[in-house]
Structure 1
């Protein structure tokens, strides 16, 4: 039994090491930051954000303030027994995470779903991926990249599912473990958020559920690293809305690079064949 435990531990350590190496080599963790820079320098991409700015900022302020008034002190009191001197910081991170989840749930369900789709598609157009975008919507020939976007044919950004919410609640107790638990919580959330960021890309490609799973499994390290960076950015209070849009831009830039590399990289071509 002891030898079996050692073998399993060694295999798991090797798997984590391989995924970490893949994450580093993929440079996917850079795309949320590329998204920020690209968004700032392309004013046409601001339009979907500005159209939803007032109501979503109001929502963000209200939810974050309410969560700190209601949830922060009780959670800090409990964490004082488990986290010691870092309880205040850990409780703040937990409250921000909870606020971010509620804000994303409400805003994506009622306010910004269409705006995020426009941002993703507009970024793809700016990268020359017109043929890909036309798989999901009408595209005109004139104006800037947002003005060219026509009627949606496919509308993929799914609202929060019960399973996603249940997993989030199940992971929450990890935050009561000092430092390591919070890091694990963020990693698990990033593992979920990474593939979700490419929901629109997968739909434009016309991939089935099985094809998506193959693609994500082959690039698990990259998707996890992207998801972690994106999730952490969206934890920043009152900036959640802006980072939701810049992360969408970053995801679209990554998708465009995957498309461009598919014609030149043997590895990407092989991956595309596996996904078919």
Structure 2
């Protein structure tokens, strides 16, 4: 039995190593950072966020303050048994993660769905991806990228589901393991976050469920790298909602680069054939 357990652990460790190597090689973990700087330098993309600023800010502050006041001490006491002197840091990260999840749950459900879709589509328009955006909504002929956005045909950003919330709380006990457990917790959250960030892209491309699964699996490391970086940004208390928008911009920039590579590669192949 011990040999079997050791084999499983070895296989899982190897799988994680391969994913981590793919993530580093892909450079996708940089897109949340690119999204932040791109967002800050393109004021027109701020409109959806500013229109929701008051309710999202109030939600973030209120939830974070409540969680630290009510849950920090009991959770720190439990983690102290497992983590010793590292319990204070582990508990802070845990409470921030919980606060971020709850804030996102409330905000995305009641305030942000349309605003995030507009931000994603507006970013694509700013990168001259008019063709793909027109597959998902009506477009106006003039104005800045956000002003050009007309009525959306569908709303692909998924709300938090009971299954997703259950999975989150199932993973929470990993934080009882010093340092490594917290890292694994963030890694698992990032693995799920990455593909979800491209939900709008998959819809605009008209991908079926099976096509999406294959597309993501071929880029598992890249999506995990993007997801981990994005999750770390959104763990920041209060500002996590702001980073939800910059992460959306980063996801759109990545989608635009994927589209450019897809359109450029066939052209290069055609030129190579002619040269032969």
TM-score by length of structure 1 reads: 0.93
Residue 253 of structure 1: aligned partner: 253
Residue 116 of structure 2: aligned partner: 116
Q: CA deviation at 1:112?
A: 0.9
The DSSP-based 3-state class of the residue aligned with 1:57 is helix
The DSSP-based 3-state class of the residue aligned with 2:192 is helix
User: 1:5/1:54 Cα in 2 relative to 1: closer, same or farther (>3 Å)?
Assistant: closer
Distance 1:84 1:43 in 2: 46
TM-score by length of structure 2 reads: 0.93
The DSSP-based 3-state class of the residue aligned with 2:150 is strand
Q: CA deviation at 1:228?
A: 0.4
Residue 81 of structure 1: aligned partner: 81
Q: CA deviation at 1:196?
A: 0.5
The DSSP-based 3-state class of the residue aligned with 1:236 is coil
Distance 2:63 2:130 in 1: 38
Q: Within 5 Å, give how 1:1-276 maps onto structure 2.
A: 8-265=8-265
Distance 2:176 2:214 in 1: 34
Q: CA deviation at 1:259?
A: 0.6
Distance 2:109 2:258 in 1: 29
Q: CA offsets, 1:91-119, max 9 Å, x none? A: 01100000000000000000111000000
Residue 272 of structure 1: aligned partner: none
Q: CA offsets, 1:217-237, max 9 Å, x none? A: 000000001000100100101
Q: CA offsets, 1:235-262, max 9 Å, x none? A: 1011011101000000000000011111
The DSSP-based 3-state class of the residue aligned with 1:263 is helix
Distance 1:261 1:237 in 2: 36
The DSSP-based 3-state class of the residue aligned with 1:34 is helix
Distance 1:102 1:141 in 2: 39
Aligned length, in residue pairs: 267
Distance 2:6 2:61 in 1: 49
Q: CA deviation at 1:163?
A: 1.0
| Alignment gaps of 5+ in structure 2 | 270-276
| Alignment gaps of 5+ in structure 1 | 270-276
The DSSP-based 3-state class of the residue aligned with 2:138 is strand
Q: CA offsets, 1:176-229, max 9 Å, x none? A: 111110000000000010001001101111111111000110000000010001
